[in-house]
Structure 1
């Protein structure tokens, strides 16, 4: 599932391509809105809200989309070949004279009144990359259910919006606890540091394609950065922990309704294991 920084970056690309321009092409390929025509309307802005995308048009309309597991928005120039997937996976096309935005495999795509946006994103907690970010509220939300495992609490977008499986695993590692530790058992001040770290990491990665949470990054240059792994634990099952050398482990976390790959170091991180 895309993380908040990926959605933020997608919104910026769409905003750059579409905002301030009127549409010369509009095609929503979902049954409910197949007859809707946005041609001629000016795109006002494209705004991310957690993992949701809100494309606003003049006349008080908003196209709400969510990428979920494998959705994507691609932007193409005139004559450029569309490479986001086969045509039958296209769910939306928004184009002007210079750019065309194509939405592939979008599981959520709906046209709503801009005044009704709260109905689709009003349940979200503070957005880690939004103007509403409030660390105190996010922390209070995170700790409200003291018996809940940390990983599940971090993924709950009602607590704080923007964290996915990658940051869940990385934040737990940096906090030196497993994602299965109940939030009520977090060591003193760990919750506060965790929320601050989450905000710092997403801010640092929102303009990058090669997300990293370590002081290293492949081919990196600049102060404090050297070639090496981009992530501490995520995607590194069986590889040595960057801190202690113990092989990283992997297990699913959650109720089993969807795959939630979770990575941790059994030596560096205290608490229950998956």
Structure 2
């Protein structure tokens, strides 16, 4: 699933292509909005909010989209061949005189009054890459349920918005705690720096084409996607297991030597290895 830095990059690309321009083509390919016509209206801005995208349009309208696991936005120049997927996967087309933005496989697409944006994103905690960032508020949210596993607390967008499965695993590694450690058991000094560490990682990567948490070329991530290869710090084999319940299970990676706290037994079902890293 795309994380906060990827969504920020997508918003910047869409903003650069559409903002300040009048729509000459509008096609919302979902039954609920099949008759909606945005042509003739100017795009005001495209703003990321955590993992959500808000495309604000003249006349007090906002197109709200979320990429979830497989969605993407592609921008094409006039006459350029579209290559984001087959036509039946297109959910929305927004075109101007010189650019066309095409949304593929978007599982969430809503056309809202701009004054009603809170219906889509009002539940989110402080945005790691947004103007509302508040580390103290984010920390209070994370610690509100001290028995909750650290990894699950980090993924809950109501606590802080923008962390996905890659950053979950990487943050837990950098904090020296397993993703199953109750968040309230995290030592106070490490808990205090968690929100700003998360922000630092996303800020460092929002302008990068390839995400890196290590600063090492060719070894971009400490643990995510590395099982059963050796840990970059101690050479212990990185382990993998799913964390969460049911449809919320996520492949989770950790080093059993560098990270302390509870973890699944070595013979527990492991997450599928070699899943592509979210970008």
Q: Aligned residue for 2:268?
A: none
- How is 1:58-77 mapped onto 2 (pairs within 5 angstroms)? 58-77=58-77
Q: Among 244, 258, 263, which residue is 1:273 paired with?
A: 263
Q: How many residues end up aligned between the 2 structures?
A: 264
TM-superposed deviation, 1:258: 3.4
- How is 1:183-202 mapped onto 2 (pairs within 5 angstroms)? 183-202=183-202
TM-superposed deviation, 1:267: 0.7
CA distance in 2, matches of 1:195, 1:171: 10
- How is 1:186-225 mapped onto 2 (pairs within 5 angstroms)? 186-217=186-217
Q: Aligned residue for 1:181?
A: 181
Q: Which runs of 5+ in 1 are unaligned?
A: 218-227
TM-superposed deviation, 1:206: 0.5
TM-superposed deviation, 1:259: 3.8
Q: Which runs of 5+ in 2 are unaligned?
A: 265-279
Q: Among 217, 223, 233, which residue is 1:243 paired with?
A: 233
Q: Aligned residue for 2:244?
A: 254
Query: Which stretch has the larger CA shift, 183-192 or 133-142?
Result: 183-192
TM-superposed deviation, 1:262: 0.3
Indicate the SS of the match to 1:109.
strand
CA distance in 2, matches of 1:20, 1:247: 51
CA distance in 2, matches of 1:12, 1:97: 19
Give per-residue Cα distances to partners, 1:164-219, cap 9 Å, x unaligned: 000000000000000000011001211121211100010010111200000212xx
TM-superposed deviation, 1:28: 0.2
Query: Does structure 1 residue 30 correspond to structure 2 residue 20?
Result: no
The alignment's TM-score, normalised by the length of structure 2, stands at 0.94
CA distance in 1, matches of 2:207, 2:94: 23
Indicate the SS of the match to 2:247.
coil
Give per-residue Cα distances to partners, 1:55-74, cap 9 Å, x unaligned: 00110000000000110000
Q: Aligned residue for 2:134?
A: 134
CA distance in 2, matches of 1:3, 1:51: 6
CA distance in 2, matches of 1:198, 1:104: 29
Q: Aligned residue for 2:88?
A: 88
